[in-house]
Structure 1
Amino acid sequence: MAYHKYYHQTVRAVGRPVEIRTRRGTVHRGIIHRVTPHRLYIRPVSGNRGYGGFGYGYFGGYGWGGAAEAFAFGAITSIAFLAFFW
């Protein structure tokens, strides 16, 4: 898939949970935080707690893993949109 297709696919999905596989074989799960023409930023979700039942409005440590991680579209091999948290 061309990089511009990843961009157009993800720019409409800000706020949705995703699973990203990189060329190095690592898997990252999180919520799309921001998208630029060259990078995708996700908020990692720690552990298996998801949002802890508090929804989008609660950011007090239940599920958020810290600062957003940035991925170049060229390093991404696949993006899967998740219907729910693991």
Structure 2
Amino acid sequence: MANTAQARKRARQAVKLNAHNSSQRSTLRTAIKAVRKAIDAGDKAAAAAVFQSSVSVIDRIADKKIIHKNKAARHKSRLAAALKALA
């Protein structure tokens, strides 16, 4: 357990920050799954629309440093390749 007032405060802040970051990661995973589901459905136009909104979510979360920028780029690249292969 934290001994000083500063350490207790940092522990409280860490709990709050962890909850926020966890919800952001959940949003990211949901966006990626939405694109995968749209691609599996086979409708390229709908999948492209979902992909555009998901790219925005991925970039926003990478900008906040919740995931690394290279991981964000990897997700976007793989989703774009899957969308292109849908042709």
TM range (shorter): under 0.3
Bigger fraction of residues in helix: 2
TM-score by length of 1: 0.23
Bigger fraction of residues in strand: 1
Which of these two proteins has the greater Rg computed from alpha carbons? Answer: 2
Question: Which one has more relative contact order, counting CA pairs under 8 Å at least 6 apart?
Answer: 1
TM-score by length of 2: 0.23
